[in-house]
Amino acid sequence: MMPHLSGRTPREYEMALVELRAEVERLNTLYEGMKSEYDRVSTTLRSQQSTVPAWQPIETAPKDGVFILVWNIYGINEVFWDAYAEWWHHDVEFDYTFPLRGDLPTHWMPLPAAPEMT
């Protein structure tokens, strides 16, 4: 805060200047710390963005039997492409596959990696 200077002696002006310099130095140190933290967080977020799968157009989805996530009007489903039926199917249970209900999916993304076990 700026000290009131009217009616002060030269020594008081000098002391006020010292206080102001100290405050500027404190604020500069605070700014540098905040800038450093901002840079660290920005770098972390950028590195995470490149590892998080993004939704892609369904036309680019793999059709080799690998399980993926797809989006249609019913929400998100884990499916694979059944080349024989030429349609997306859910899990295989008891030698039977369950076709995906609803409209053709519009988007897909790979399944996320399994969590690390510790």
- Residues 67-96 have pLDDT tens digits of 999 998 888 888 888 888 788 887 666 455
Query: Which of 108, 53, 65 minimizes the C-alpha distance to 89?
Result: 65
How far is 79 from 83, CA to CA, in rounded Å? 13
pLDDT for residue 70: 92
Do 106 and 55 contact (CB within 8 A), yes or no? no
Give the C-alpha separation, 100 to 78, whole Å. Answer: 9
Low-confidence ranges of the chain (pLDDT < 70): 1-5, 48-52, 91-102
| pLDDT confidence of residue 59 | 92
What pLDDT, on the 0 to 100 scale, is given for residue 2? 57
Distance (Å, rounded) from C-alpha 26 to C-alpha 108?
Answer: 51
